[in-house]
Chain A
Amino acid sequence: MPYKISVRGLVHQYYNRHTKETVLALKDISFDVNAGEFVTIVGPSGCGKSTLLSLIAGLRKPSAGEILVDGVAVSGPGVDRGMVFQEFAILPWRTVQQNIGHGLEIQKVSKEKRDSVIARYVEMVGLQGFENKYPYELSGGMKQRVAVARTLAANPKVVLMDEPLAALDAQTRVTLREEILRISLEAACTILFVTHSVDEAVFLGDRVVILSRHPGEVKEIVTIPSSREERRYPSIHENQRFEEIKHHVFQSIRQEVEMADETTMRVE
């Protein structure tokens, strides 16, 4: 069986037309993701995580290398790969429910069907009572939840999430992690999830991809031994193995950040 996603020798260089400078964001990334797998991606700020996701989404063309989804090379964005952006990207002139239902609207799903899906996702992300509000009336965390719901409601086979829980309070974040875990098991989609939180990466992932400092390379891939069904907060923290893996991932990233500081003299 082919991999759901294959990333082969991916290189990406940004070119600034005005300064004529190039920035190497990703240098030789390769990894594979199985169908139904939940892969989390961690790495120092600026190492190219967002770049990697936008390449897989087909929003940019790689400078070299290729990305296969179901064995077919990615040539552009498509409904099979949904993405939750670091900057939310929900539309300010659409209400909460219009944003959440946007993907279904594009797919020309009937109004009744759409409304029932919207209602389900509104409840899932805890936005009942805000259905008819516009994004400017929402807090940062609420906007982020709309963005997550919007992507999931379109029911993509591959879900790319770029720090979707970053702006939330601790309690909501934990709730949504459990929700996302549940959805991932229910919807049988494949998820690539970028995060800065080691706890989150280890709690959610079947595997954790650790990227090196800028320019990004795969430093290490850590397999999480337990199955996703078994994970719950807060009992997970009592699991000795879970804490050990977290410690390991944490050290691995810290090493990169420290080395990045030494090479660029920049304090993150």
Chain B
Amino acid sequence: MAATLEAASAKPKAIKLTPDGSSLWERLFFAVGPYLFLILLWEGLRRLLHADASTMPSLWSAVEAIGRVAANGILPDYIFHSLERITVAGSISVVIGVSVGITIGLNATAAALFLPVIRYFNSLAGIAWLPLFLIWFGFNDKTIILSISYNLFFPVVFNTIIGIRTVPKVFRQGVLTLGGSWRDVVFGVMLPGALPNVISGIRLGVAYGWRALIASEMLLGLGGIGYMIFKAQANDLTDRILAGMLLIGILWSLMDYLILQPLEEATIRRWGLVRR
């Protein structure tokens, strides 16, 4: 008994509940640890297989390749192209996807009419449309943007529908008993209530769209990071291929980390849906 009392009155040791509360070293470990492991794995495999630089270039030579394309101006230009395309496609798909999702979420008739069709088209990968898009629009930026939009659209629609449908009924009823009209219900309850799901859908959609972007850039030859990889293959520039792949991941991570994730967390936290 005395021992427990003593222990209790002793200065309590800080208990770490979240990575936020942990030391700088720990955070650094969780941030770079996994990547460090992958780097070691790649370099290890290269040595183990005695791979030569033209099949499996070292990561360092890929970094050097990034430096070269950055210095000769190709890289900024290609990054700009890729980011521009995902932004335009994202804006189109978010506007259309959210509107369609809201309509279907709110209206049973619309759901019965359109949901099966949307599910059907969801099963057709965006890349399967590329030949048709090429015939319709040609080797053109429109084709790339359409292909990205297509892939981005579905996660946005489905998540918006889920968001609308999972708004508790009693929230709607509450606003109705305050004298609210259907307008107050839609704009004051359904839309804000669905927002966390909508944003998760956008985050997922942009990830899908990003993949479609790389794939269609490879095929169309109109610049962009995807094209850079493709052209490098034709010229046997393996280090540049690897550089492109690194960049795709890095650019995505930056977009996600700087824009999408904070947006998602802010809404979810403010809505009180997750208590950490």
Residues of A within 8 A of B (CB): 54, 57, 59, 76-79, 81-83, 85, 87, 89-93, 102-103, 106-107, 134-137, 150-151, 154, 156, 160
Contact = CB atoms under 8 A, between A and B. Distances in A.
B32 interface: no
Interface of B: 168, 170-171, 173-181, 184, 188-189, 192-193, 195, 270-273, 275
Contact of A134 (B176, B179, B270): B270
B173 A89 contact: yes
B174 A90 contact: yes
A85 B270 contact: no
A87 B184 CA distance: 20
B174 A78 contact: no
B175 A134 contact: no
Contacts of B175: 91, 102, 106
Contacts of A102: 175, 178, 188
Contact of A77 (B171, B177, B192): B177
B268 to A, nearest CB: 11
Contacts of A79: 178-179
A91 B176 contact: no
B85 to A, nearest CB: 33
Contact of B177 (A81, A91, A93, A107): A81
B173 A154 contact: no
B178 A106 contact: yes
A96 to B, nearest CB: 13
B177 A83 contact: yes
The residue in B171, B178, B180, B192 that gathers the most chain A C-beta atoms within 10 A of its C-beta is: B178
Nearest to A99: B174
A89 B275 CA distance: 19
Contact of B179 (A90, A91, A154, A160): A154
Nearest to A60: B173
The residue in B173, B192, B193, B271 that gathers the most chain A C-beta atoms within 10 A of its C-beta is: B173
Contacts of A103: 178-179
Contacts of A134: 270, 272
Nearest to A103: B178
Contacts of A85: 170, 173-174
Contact of A83 (B174, B184, B195, B270): B174
